[in-house]
Amino acid sequence: MIPQSLNVCRGQADQGIGEAGTPIRRGEQYLAADAPLQADPELLRGIRHWLTLDAGPGDHGRLQERLTGWACFPAGPYYFVVRLAAAGKYDRRDAYFAHARAWPLAAFAADFDPGLYLGQDAAFLTEAPTGASVAGLPLPPAPAPDPACAAREQALAVGLITHLFHGMVTGWPVILAVPLTAFAAGSPLARVISFARGALPGRLRRRCRVRVFSRNPPLFLGQDPDGAAVDLLVIPEDLAGAALGAVRRRALLLDARGERCDGPAPAAGLSDYARAVSESAQRFPAQLTGFGERFDRLWADPAAAPGPELTGWVTLTYNLAVALAGGAAHCGSLFANYLLTQARATDQVPWSALIRPDDWARFPQDHLIRFILRADEALSPGEGCLQVALVDAFQRLGSTLDEGLAAWWNPAEAPKRRRLLALCDLDPPLIADARCAALTRPLPIATLAADGAPLTGALRAEYRAGVLGARGAEAPHLLAVLDQPGLFALLLEADRTGALAAPWRRGDLATMPLPQAAALARQLLQEPRTWSGLEDLPTRLFARLEQAPGGLDAIAADLFDPRGRLRIAPTPAAAVLLLETAPIARRLPCADLMTLGGLLPATAARALTAYQARVTTLMDLEPPATTAHLIQAGAWLAWRRHAGPALEQDARHRLALTWLTSPALAVLRDDRARARPPQWRPERTQARGADLVDITRETWDQVMADLGPLAPATVDLLTRPDTHWPWVHPFQQDQARDLAARCPDPQARAALAADLERTEWMTAADAPWLGEVIAALAAGADGNAALAGLRQRVQAAADQDGRDARSHPLMQLCRAICALPPRQRRRDGPLIRHGWQTLERAIGGEGGYYHWALLSPDRPILPLLHLAACLRPERQAGTLALWFMYQPDCAPLRREPRWWAALIGSVLTQTTPPDARDTAPPRPWCAPAEATRRAALALIDAEREALPPAEAMALARAWGDLDSDGTWTDNCGANHR
């Protein structure tokens, strides 16, 4: 059925419908149009130049009213075909009449191409309609190419097909220059052009733009903003030079015989395409359009011209189009007499692209089934390719071969057995399960296996048909073929559902050939979750591979990836087997070893022993990495206990130190948000983060037992931020005691104390070195009574495990240093000799840890100020005081008169804060404390508005004794009068 078309006419008349919505009183205009076109002014405006005959007076003079032009082009949702012809005179000027038919682009089909109306005068009006409407025009006869005309002009037809195909792919327009007489009515030129265009593939025909006759080439060559770019422009030959110049010679110029005069040569294979299409169309012209649609399937890349590897199948494609249009009988004849011949000749036929499954469904199915079932060993490679294509089509269609099996099957013929097994192994199958099982069940596994075809599909059909159970007695033969893909999983499923008896997995593996054993092992490695249900089959199989030379190497690529890591996701049963297989256990990396070790049941003594032995080997080779993996797996303590006390002390010390400094414990070292270990934060004790490793007190005790005495260099290593020992909540105090007990050297104990100073876990009892240092200071202080008394008080506080401000070790140290004579506070004095440079760095503020010194209102931070003044007054005293004055924790203290009184009194009058037990009179500040004093006074001055009046006046009086000019005293006093 021919799709309905819309019509539009143009020419000169006294009355029409105007120019795209603009009324015209008389003259050149649209004369009539169907309503959908008339309602689209933009579309009418865009196609105006296509419906205008731009002939000159000379053209009309020579051809009179025989002058005829044509055009076809897509515009909007339509494809237009236009006939333009001279129409005598209008108002003493040459006139023309154009009639265009428009079909929806969706009308293109395998049996309809509107472009074939080009050149068919009978399909168009020859004169203007009487009214403005062209509704009701009769449908034109079905379009058809004119192969006879093309045969008479064969050179022109072949040339046009070749160069138009090439030009449309490459973007070069084709210009055909012909004598003016070729545009006369009745000339074969338009029908040859129509044939050439119709011979193109479908995707090109849908967008092909053709203009036959024009005196304005730039308008149709894309050089005019109001024009259009055509694919084929046919012009009088006297305009050829001007047309080439308009496009700067970027066009293909052909003469009247279709020979190329200018432009690039066509792509290889296009000439063969053109000749083959022309020859086939001479015999079957009605299928020219169907051929073009089918060739689209073969030509997958429209951005590139098809090469000889595609154009060589033009005749085959054309014949397919003819047969499919003729019905099942034609298709059967084509298959038997032509397609099989092509298949025998070559294996390069692109069957899947040429013939789709729905096309195969239109062929006689008995022909196809007989060919699919062919089991001839003498099938040519091409016939094999056709057989594969047919099998794929049947699978996609959901068809089966059941109807042809009875006449074909003979169980005594090995080729047919092999063909049946191959067809049963397909997914989806081409043979029903019940039909397949009925044919294969009488045959023993040994017979089927000897044929060398896959058995999985046939056994799957037997399983689904419910007849697989009897195969359990054929255990040796089943084990021999378990290397076939999918068969192992099938038997496991049948075993689990009770459809197959257990003896199948108890066959003898000792005589199994090594390739089959390796293949079966690969199947096992793909299903490690099933090992626990296979009794001892995996163990016996791996033992068989271990005994054979190179047996385990045959499955190494399936077991380990290129990095040496396990490919499989192990289960407890797999972990036991892998670790008990010594060659595999020796290759396991530490990360996989930890995974397997975590899966081992407590009863697997042999596997546990192998695991521990492998860990010990790795610990000797890579102590840091192995320790980190053990920590992350929570397995370090278990391995260490297994290693036993046989280790030398040096080895134990190295193991302990490696554990203490392992990067795996980084999250337990420091919490930058609070400058404390993470377990100290209350929220961490309730909900541990998933990324935190876990260590126990028992692990710590084992590490301490292995550690031994600590040298100063080791303590320095353990107190660095990146290698600090980990904290075990809530045993931080015990850890501090454990480490202090292993520091026999005073300098090591001092370094440890310098690190503990920033924590809450340093008390007098935790720092036994403090008494030793004070004693050393007293020994060089010429019997300093203050130091002797201080030592006694420190010892008393240690006996009571004191925790108040007075007994804090650093507070006691401040008192000790302040009690030293100046000569002992020198850089080369006992402070330095006893390792106090480490403590000095901590106290001095480089780390910013002073929380221990935020004391009660009557004991402010003055001792620390004194200590800073003694050590580094010029650099640190002011910074230290500033830090404390503006600590958030100090804000409540600034509202306490007692705090200000203690601060003012300490800064201005004495070196130590008031103490009821001190009977010595206050002494003035020493010279090195001047920077501290002035920094503190500056801070007090900044806070003068917060001073209570009594304290402000006391400060003014005290300052007057120390500051002779009285400037600050006057300002302070005036502020509080």
The residue among 202, 353, 170, 338 whose CA lies nearest residue 266 is 170
Q: What is the mean pLDDT of residues 941-967?
A: 56
pLDDT digits (tens, 9 = 90+) for 714-724: 888 887 777 87
pLDDT on residue 881: 52
Name the least confident of 666-670, 683-687, 897-901. 683-687
pLDDT on residue 261: 93
Residue 863 reports pLDDT greater than 90: no
pLDDT digits (tens, 9 = 90+) for 555-600: 788 788 888 888 888 888 888 888 888 888 888 888 888 888 888 8
**How many residues are given for the chain?**
977
Residue 627 near residue 636 (C-beta atoms within 8 A)? yes
Q: What is the mean pLDDT of residues 799-805?
A: 49
Tokens of 418: 């092999």
Residue 489 reports pLDDT greater than 80: no
pLDDT digits (tens, 9 = 90+) for 911-953: 333 343 444 444 444 444 555 556 556 656 666 666 666 666 6
Q: What is the mean pLDDT of residues 437-465?
A: 90
- In the numeric block, the tokens 């300093």 are attached to 784
Looking at per-residue pLDDT, the higher value among 530 and 77 belongs to 77
Residues 6+ apart with CB under 8 A from 332: 363, 364, 367
Interhelix angle 514-526/487-496, rounded to 10 degrees, is 60
pLDDT on residue 931: 53
Looking at per-residue pLDDT, the higher value among 128 and 337 belongs to 337
Interhelix angle 878-885/862-871, rounded to 10 degrees, is 160
Residue 83 near residue 98 (C-beta atoms within 8 A)? yes
Q: How is the beta sheet containing 78-90 ordered, strand by strand?
A: 27-33, 6-13, 93-104, 78-90, 68-75, 210-212, 232-236, 174-178, 252-254, 260-262
Q: What are phi and psi of 795, to 5 degrees?
A: -65, -40
The residue among 227, 170, 292 whose CA lies nearest residue 49 is 227
pLDDT on residue 505: 61
pLDDT on residue 573: 83
pLDDT on residue 849: 38
Helix, strand, coil percentages (3-state) for the chain, rounded to 5, are 55, 10, 35
Running DSSP on this structure, what letter comes out for residue 69?
Answer: E
d(CA 181, CA 247): 25
The residue among 573, 625, 558, 620 whose CA lies nearest residue 594 is 625
Handedness of CA 543, 546, 550, 556 (dihedral sign): positive
3-state secondary structure of 32: strand
pLDDT digits (tens, 9 = 90+) for 468-487: 887 877 777 777 777 788 87
pLDDT on residue 844: 41
The model's confidence at residue 955, banded by pLDDT at 50, 70 and 90, is low
Percent of the residues in the chain that have a pLDDT greater than 90, as a whole number? 36
Q: What is the mean pLDDT of residues 697-712?
A: 89
Looking at per-residue pLDDT, the higher value among 823 and 496 belongs to 496
DSSP character string of 682-741:
HHHHHS--TT-----HHHHHHHHHHH----HHHHHHHTSTTTPPPP-TT-HHHHHHHHHH
Over the chain, what is the mean pLDDT?
78
d(CA 463, CA 494): 7
pLDDT on residue 889: 55
Tokens of 344: 């025998």
pLDDT on residue 846: 38
* pTM score above 0.85: no
CATH architecture of 144-306: 3-Layer(aba) Sandwich (3.40)
Every domain of the chain and the residues it spans:
1-128, 144-306, 324-399, 406-507, 509-593, 622-677+691-751, 768-914+924-963
Residues 6+ apart with CB under 8 A from 6: 33, 34, 36, 37, 78, 101, 102, 103
Residue 69 near residue 213 (C-beta atoms within 8 A)? yes
Burial of residue 613 (CB within 10 Å: 0-12, 13-18, 19+) is: middle
Q: What are phi and psi of 548, to 5 degrees?
A: -85, 135
Tokens of 789: 């008394």
Distances (CA, A) of 853 to 98, 783, 857, 937: 105, 29, 12, 20
- In the numeric block, the tokens 């163990």 are attached to 539
Burial of residue 102 (CB within 10 Å: 0-12, 13-18, 19+) is: buried
Percent of the residues in the chain that have a pLDDT greater than 70, as a whole number? 71
Residue 905 reports pLDDT greater than 70: no
pLDDT on residue 340: 94
The model's confidence at residue 778, banded by pLDDT at 50, 70 and 90, is low
Distances (CA, A) of 160 to 246, 251, 447: 21, 14, 64
Residue 756 reports pLDDT greater than 90: no
Name the least confident of 139-143, 326-330, 405-409, 495-499. 495-499
Output Rg (C-alpha) for the chain, integer angstroms.
Answer: 51
pLDDT digits (tens, 9 = 90+) for 128-182: 887 767 877 888 888 888 888 888 999 999 999 999 999 999 999 999 999 999 9
pLDDT on residue 81: 97
d(CA 677, CA 693): 13
pLDDT digits (tens, 9 = 90+) for 235-256: 999 999 989 988 888 899 999 9
pLDDT on residue 467: 87
Residue 433 near residue 464 (C-beta atoms within 8 A)? yes
Q: What is the mean pLDDT of residues 428-445?
A: 91
pLDDT digits (tens, 9 = 90+) for 523-557: 777 777 766 666 777 787 788 778 778 778 777 88
Q: What is the mean pLDDT of residues 348-369?
A: 94
Residues 6+ apart with CB under 8 A from 231: 164, 167, 168, 173, 174, 208, 209, 210
CB atoms within 10 A of CB 203: 16
Which of 479-483, 656-660, 671-675, 684-688 tops mean pLDDT? 656-660
Residues 6+ apart with CB under 8 A from 411: 417, 439, 442, 443
Residues 6+ apart with CB under 8 A from 278: 147, 150, 151, 154, 157, 158, 161, 199
Burial of residue 423 (CB within 10 Å: 0-12, 13-18, 19+) is: buried
Residues 6+ apart with CB under 8 A from 251: 172, 173, 174, 175, 221, 243, 244, 262, 263
pLDDT digits (tens, 9 = 90+) for 7-63: 999 999 988 899 887 888 889 999 999 999 999 999 999 999 999 999 999 898 899
The model's confidence at residue 850, banded by pLDDT at 50, 70 and 90, is very low
Residue 576 near residue 604 (C-beta atoms within 8 A)? yes
The model's confidence at residue 781, banded by pLDDT at 50, 70 and 90, is very low
pLDDT on residue 785: 52
Q: What is the mean pLDDT of residues 722-735?
A: 77
Rounded-to-10 torsion of CA 751, 756, 762, 768: -20
Looking at per-residue pLDDT, the higher value among 727 and 625 belongs to 625
Beta strands at 6-13 and 93-104: parallel, antiparallel or unpaired: antiparallel
d(CA 884, CA 891): 10
Residue 338 reports pLDDT greater than 50: yes
